[in-house]
A = this chain, B = another copy of it.
Amino acid sequence: MDERLARVWLATAVEEARAGLAEGGIPIGAALYGPDGTLLGRGHNRRVQDGDPSAHAETAAFRAAGRRRTYRGTTMVTTLSPCWYCSGLVRQFGISRVVIGEATTFHGGHDWLAGHGVEILVLADPECVALMRAFAQDNPELWQEDIGE
């Protein structure tokens, strides 16, 4: 996909990540865009805020998008490489593309998704790296809890 558009969409996910951080949560954000570029849903990790371990950024954005007949042509934009849980979501529901802010601080299942026909774009965004690096350094136990380590 067009990298400039991908960076515009990433800004929505970064806004979500910052909102999560401001709430005292884990700074990971995501947004689901439709084939025509419509924003279908956006969200951020809510483990701390809601005490909900199932609310990863990608699942929150997916939930916010509500029920849909198909995800063909949709793009999941996330500030961080999707974990296996969120990668499984992308594969099961046939989400066509994943735009990833960074895969430096955490490397999830995006290679596996690429092997199953999902278009992957890793942007190596410095702000996304800085957000996660600072958070994981200051809150190592919380971050490990969020990824089951």
Contacts and interface: CB of A to CB of B under 8 A. Distances in A.
A148 B96 CA distance: 12
B63 A53 contact: yes
A42 to B, nearest CB: 14
Contacts of A91: 84-85, 88
B147 A69 contact: no
A47 interface: yes
Interface of A: 47, 51-55, 59, 62-63, 65-71, 83-89, 91-94, 109, 145, 147-149
Contact of A53 (B54, B55, B67): B67
Given A47-B67, A67-B47, A148 B53 contact: no
A88 B69 contact: no
A68 B84 contact: no
Contacts of A87: 88
Which 10 residue pairs spanning A and B have beta carbons closest together? A88-B88, A93-B148, A84-B92, A54-B63, A84-B88, A85-B92, A84-B91, A85-B88, A85-B89, A83-B92
